[in-house]
């Protein structure tokens, strides 16, 4: 109704001789008769341009384009009427050109003015100017580090919110050219070097880091400066998190260890992934685990027909299904309790659901634990892979993707060796079936179940010393979403038989990781929280590797994904290896399993095959059992 009033007043003003110098008299009757047509055309133009989808309280300069477009459309239509009817008797519809021009300027300028006034009043009210009776929230004075896209989006959102818990006193940005400028009316006061002075002068209680895709060292530098002042620091989610709908720009959070990794956001080829996953049936084994569940969350984006969730841990499957049904009720999820190594059960699942794409994420992964449970690693990491992979081929799945690990490179552990054999098995299956089989190898996944980050977090929370195995131990890290996204992308790139190797960036010292986590908890390493070195555990390396010595890495269409050209094993070699492992797993003989790995994988670097106190006679027995098994003669 307010718009009707503005448009009507503007039209009558356009007919005033005092405004429209081309008119000598005020044609009130003509104006009244023409008003319905003009207002109808202008309303139609506003609707077509999307003006009524803009919230008045958040109107911005960008939204002016909508009103300029609407003005051009309505003015064009009215001028068209004028010229089309010029030589007819329809004088009523021939609005004078001068009236059209003046009316367009006044009408759409008035509409914009009304909306800007509304926003101005809202912001005054938000600051307490007109809502003295409203309960006001105490706001923390804050400085924002970063006057780019993220900082501007935060300022725009905070200025227009009644419930904001922060009051932005200014920006700092290390781009000297921005100093003295402003964002949403808020001044850019200096660079990060000026933080100590600005915090004191402005009584700032909080620093907000608003830098999209900031490098870890940059965030660490800002955190260290905040610790020296001292002042609390929080961070704005990245544009990637916001774009995926996980958070909004005003949802500030504490700086997390993942921020300090500073890895560049993964860019996916969505067209390729829609073709790979869209409108297909997808099966994920180990769906309740850290990687499996994130794979499922990422797969959902590409609109599969159905996702079959295979998991043997009942609670993990229950929690995943509950989350998915709450967030995506429109999609079809099939939660199935099953052991990936159970041939009969998995056969039933493939028979009923006929998945087109299979992601095999089920595995035993904890290195020290697997060292004393090698038979279970063989069953789960090798034979379950062979079972699921063979069923994928027999039931005509188009793609099978194995989730592998950097520990399969020159393995020193049972876990790494078992995953290396799983890769070999997958390459062998690729030669037997039309299914495209690929493996994806990456390093440690930050904050996955049982990994170092949650262990450190629990130790700090409980006031215990943080335990690090060795001061020089390093690992490659990536976040769970990044790992899942690159697995999907690698799967889509596969032609069959490849072992994809992901770019893991720079290795991170575990000691530095522990120090960072202690600092993020507001404590001082070695003062508030001690760090103890416990020694390297069985099967662990000081440094992880991502490529086997002598292999060539080939580039793919994605800058973070490479193909390792690794020599494949013959079908007979693989068959013989599996026969040996079958017997050894039945015997649950750790040393026999180690020997089979050492004999069949030249890259294996087990530090010691014999156990302490092992006699020559016992060693001879193990040697004999392996020899007999090779010729199919072993027996209990």
Residue whose C-alpha is closest to residue 372's, from 421, 423, 410, 413: 413
Q: Which residue in the block uniquely carries the two structure tokens 């079959």? A: 308
CA distances from 211 to 89, 172, 204 (A): 65, 11, 19
* Structure tokens given for 577: 């290896």
Would you say 52 and 88 are in contact if contact means Cβ atoms under 8 Å apart? no
Q: How far apart are CA 203 and CA 198, in angstroms?
A: 8
| Beta-bridge mates of residue 439 | 402, 499
Q: Comparing C-alpha atoms, which of 572, 568, 560, 575 is closest to residue 423?
A: 568
Which of 76, 517, 536, 487 lies closest to 254, judged by CA? 517
Closest of 384, 365, 361, 344 to residue 283, by C-alpha: 361
* Integer Cα distance of 357 and 283 in angstroms: 6
Which of 400, 301, 417 lies closest to 346 in space, CA to CA? 400
Say how far residue 256 (Cα) sits from the centre of its chain: 15
Residue 509 designated active-site: no
Long-range contacts of 102-107 (CB under 8 A, 24+ apart): 102/13, 102/14, 102/19, 102/20, 103/10, 103/11, 103/13, 103/14, 103/38, 104/71, 104/74, 104/75, 104/78, 105/71, 106/10, 106/13, 106/14, 107/6, 107/7, 107/10, 107/11, 107/42, 107/71
Pairing of strands 552-555, 561-565: antiparallel
Cβ atoms < 10 Å from Cβ of 608: 9
Residue 200: DSSP 8-state: H
Joined together, the tokens standing for residue 529 give: 């929280």
Is the distance from CB of 407 to CB of 415 less than 8 angstroms? Answer: yes
Q: Which of 302, 315, 308 is nearest to 359 (CA)?
A: 308
Beta strand extents in 210-356 (DSSP E only)? 232-235, 253-254, 281-285, 306-311, 333-337
Half-sphere exposure of 264 (CA within 13 A, CB side): 8
DSSP conformation class of 622: H
Catalytic residue among 280, 365, 407, 515: 407
Q: Known catalytic residues?
A: 407
């Amino acid at each position: 109704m307010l718009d009707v009033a503005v448009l009507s007043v503007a039209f009558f003003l356009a007919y005033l001789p005092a405004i429209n110098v081309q008119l000598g008299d005020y044609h009130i009757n003509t104006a009244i008769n023409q008003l319905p047509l003009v207002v109808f055309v202008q309303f139609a133009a506003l609707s077509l341009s999307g003006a009524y989808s803009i919230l008045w309280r958040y109107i911005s300069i960008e939204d002016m384009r909508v009103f300029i477009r609407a003005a051009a459309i309505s003015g064009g239509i009215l001028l068209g009427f004028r010229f089309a009817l010029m030589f007819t008797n329809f004088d009523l519809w021939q609005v004078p050109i001068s009236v059209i021009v003046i009316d367009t300027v006044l009408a759409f300028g008035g509409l914009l003015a009304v909306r800007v006034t509304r926003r101005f009043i809202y912001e005054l009210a938000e600051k307490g100017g007109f809502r003295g009776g409203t309960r006001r929230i105490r706001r923390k004075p804050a400085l924002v580090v970063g006057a780019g896209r993220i900082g501007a989006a935060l300022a725009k959102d905070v200025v227009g919110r009644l419930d904001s818990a922060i009051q932005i006193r200014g920006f700092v940005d290390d781009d000297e050219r921005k100093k003295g400028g402003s964002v949403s009316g808020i001044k850019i006061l200096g660079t990060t070097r000026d933080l100590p002075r600005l915090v004191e002068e402005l009584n700032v209680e909080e620093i907000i880091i608003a830098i999209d895709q900031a490098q870890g060292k940059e965030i660490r530098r800002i955190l260290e400066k905040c610790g020296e002042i001292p002042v609390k620091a929080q961070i704005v989610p990245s544009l990637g998190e916001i774009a995926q709908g996980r958070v909004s720009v005003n949802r500030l959070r504490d700086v997390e260890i993942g921020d300090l990794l500073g890895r560049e956001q993964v860019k996916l080829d969505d067209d390729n992934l829609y073709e790979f996953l869209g409108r297909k049936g997808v099966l994920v084994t180990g769906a309740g685990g850290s990687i499996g569940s994130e794979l499922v969350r990422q797969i959902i984006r590409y609109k599969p027909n159905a996702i079959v969730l295979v998991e043997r841990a009942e609670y993990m499957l229950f929690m995943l299904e509950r989350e998915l049904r709450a967030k995506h009720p429109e999609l079809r999820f099939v939660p199935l309790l099953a052991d990936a190594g159970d041939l009969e059960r998995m056969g039933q699942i493939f028979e009923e659901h006929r998945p087109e794409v299979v992601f095999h994420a089920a595995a035993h992964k904890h290195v020290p634990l697997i060292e004393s449970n090698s038979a279970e690693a063989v069953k789960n990491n090798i034979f379950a892979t062979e079972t699921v992979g063979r069923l994928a081929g027999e039931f005509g799945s188009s793609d099978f993707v194995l989730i592998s690990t950097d520990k399969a490179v020159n393995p020193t552990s049972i876990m790494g060796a078992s995953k290396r054999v799983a890769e070999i098995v997958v390459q062998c299956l690729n030669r037997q079936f039309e299914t495209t089989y690929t493996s994806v190898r990456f390093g440690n996944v930050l904050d996955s179940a049982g990994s170092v980050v949650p262990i450190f977090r629990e130790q700090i929370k409980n006031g215990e010393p943080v335990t690090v195995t060795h001061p020089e131990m390093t690992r490659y890290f990536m976040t769970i979403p990044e790992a899942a996204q690159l697995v999907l992308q690698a799967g889509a790139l596969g032609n069959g038989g490849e072992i994809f190797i992901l770019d893991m960036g720079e290795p991170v010292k575990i000691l530095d990781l522990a120090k960072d986590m202690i600092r993020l908890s507001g404590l001082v390493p070695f003062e508030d929280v001690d760090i103890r070195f416990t020694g390297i555990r069985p099967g662990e390396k000081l440094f992880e590797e991502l490529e086997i010595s002598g292999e060539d890495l080939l580039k793919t269409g994605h800058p973070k994904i490479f193909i390792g050209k690794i020599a494949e094993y013959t079908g007979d070699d693989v068959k013989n290896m599996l026969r040996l492992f079958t017997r050894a797993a039945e015997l649950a003989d750790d040393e026999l399993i180690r020997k089979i790995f050492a004999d069949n994988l030249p890259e294996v670097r087990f530090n010691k095959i014999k156990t302490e106190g092992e006699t020559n006679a016992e060693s001879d027995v193990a040697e004999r059992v392996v020899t007999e098994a090779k010729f199919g003669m072993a027996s209990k």
